Amino acid sequence: MVLTVIKRLVFMTSALTFLCSELIANEKLRVDGNTLYYTTDDAKEEIDQEINWDDTVAFADMLKENPDITLLQIDSSGGLVEAAVYLADMIIDYELNTHIEGECSSSCLLLFLGGEKRSLARGSWIGLHKTSWASDSLKNYYTEWKEDEGWANEYDFAEWLYEDTQKTILRDLEYLIERGVDPAFAIKTLRADSDDMWYPRRKEMVAAGIITED
């Protein structure tokens, strides 16, 4: 009896995950020919209108089910950085080209840079700024992980956070340089605060290696 209940719960959980992935795929991802379209900001209100972990499941399914995809067209104002890093690795692994039609801001840049060839439609834009971690989220993270991490107090957490921030900045700069971005420009991507945005001109991004196909 217990085993039967467990099996039913597993089945229901799997079915729910599948349905959520399908809903996300229909709202934020679609395939037309060799192009995978990823648009986050036009999704319905009940769908998270940012790059997030649920998107990675639907994204992987789309690529597996459509082996002829060679181009990813993006329109997104960003979202979770770690989810964007995961998506960027998939883009690199599948050797996709990337194209922006509309906006690609904040963590969306990580996806764009994953492309072998990278293009920006006329009238579209790329927005850059520093990442952020809201105080409420920091508090929740500390409360949830302090025992596992062995943080005796907030000062231990602050020490870890200081080191983690430096590692994250180094990781992001190394990624930009790995993808062919000029190191001086990579440093300039940190010029705008997290509540602001820097929109470089097309010629500057072509010269810096952000855009490879003008």
What is the distance between the terminal CA atoms of the chain, rounded to a whole angstrom?
Answer: 64
The confidence score (pLDDT) of residue 11 equals: 41
What gap in Å lies between CA 177 and CA 82, rounded to an integer? 18
Residue 31, CB-side half-sphere exposure with 13 Å CA sphere: 16
Q: Per mean pLDDT, which range of 14-28, 65-79, 134-148 is the poorest?
A: 14-28
Pick the closest to residue 198 from 105, 116, 139, 127 (CA basis).
Answer: 127
Residue with tokens 């906006």: 103
Name 198's bridge partners: 128
- Domain 2-129+193-208 architecture: Alpha-Beta Complex (3.90)
User: Does position 193 have pLDDT exceeding 60, yes or no?
Assistant: yes
Q: What is the pLDDT of residues 171-181, one digit of tens each?
A: 999 999 999 99
- How many beta carbons lie within 10 A of that of residue 208, not counting itself? 19
Chain mean pLDDT for the chain: 87
Name the pLDDT band for 183 (thresholds 50, 70, 90).
very high
